[in-house]
A and B are shown apart, each in its own frame.
Chain A
Amino acid sequence: MQNRDRYFKGQEDNETLVCFTRQHWIVLLPDLIFFMIFIAFVTVSIVNLPEIKAWVASGIEGKTVFLITFIIATLYFHRFFIKILNYFLCVEIITDKRLIEHHKTVFFKDLMDAIDLSQIQNIEMNMDGFLPNIFKYGKITIFLNSSSAVRTFTYVTNVQFHFRCINRQKTALQSGDIV
């Protein structure tokens, strides 16, 4: 099998991609709510444009306030979109051999961590709370057998499916089905 770098940089020759996932959209909920408030603020400003225009044109105070508001709005706008793009760049990849966690941001961070499925001793799934059960997200905790190390993946989308998926790959690898 020639799978080297087929789906992601770092994929091995004999490694097959099973699936990948991102965190649940609930992690973006506070940002989305604030962005709605921002959009409402912009809409109100557009509706009252003639009054704002008259006030800004009236003197240096109006211009200063307009400039500061424009700078803050621009910074917030970029921060929001960069955060949404960062959400897309952070993925957890499940292959038939490894569980790869890739935490990347557009500008600052690029962290890749792989767990060998043969090193996994136990997997635990946790959907604790009202919202996790409604939206089917949760936490997967992985206990490694080499040491007392524990890895936790939070806000996993469709957590039951991914729990089953990791478990099946681990069982298949440890029973020798996958060479």
Chain B
Amino acid sequence: MTEFNTLIIAIGLASIIFCFIALKRLISYNKRFHLPESKYTKLFKVISKEQVGSLYLLLTIFSVISVIIFTISFNTYAE
């Protein structure tokens, strides 16, 4: 594995860790503030913060895995 690959994987891991920390803080906020949500308090009347959090986690993991696969595949391509 090249240094370039290692760097990409390290950035990807840091990205996932950052996402986990942000979501952990959101969960701790939810424990202290359980205000009754309605359609008037949601984003565009439909999107809740839990949905945004889930999307954030899924997209982070998906993008990191995609970039790592891409990096490994073009190294194979180069060889």
Contacts and interface: CB of A to CB of B under 8 A. Distances in A.
Interface string B2-33: 00100110010001001100100110010011
A87 to B, nearest CB: 7
> Majority SS of interface residues in chain A?
helix
Contacts of B59: 77, 81
A107 B25 contact: yes
Nearest to A67: B7
Given A21-B41, A53-B74, A74-B15, A67 B4 contact: yes
A112 to B, nearest CB: 11
Contact of A71 (B11, B53, B75): B11
Interface string B45-78: 0001100110010011001000100100111011
B56 A81 contact: yes
A59 B15 CA distance: 26
Interface residues of A, number: 36
Contact of A85 (B22, B60, B63, B78): B22
A126 to B, nearest CB: 20
A67 B8 contact: yes
Interface residues of B, number: 35
A17 B6 CA distance: 52
> Majority SS of interface residues in chain B?
helix
B48 to A, nearest CB: 8
A20 interface: yes
Nearest to B34: A7
Interface in A83-126: 84-85, 87-89, 91, 93, 102, 104, 106-107
Given A81-B22, A91-B33, A93-B35, 4 more contacts: A8-B34, A77-B60, A81-B52, A91-B35
Interface of A: 7-9, 17, 20-22, 25, 28, 49, 53-54, 56-57, 63, 67, 70-71, 74, 77-78, 81-82, 84-85, 87-89, 91, 93, 102, 104, 106-107, 157-158
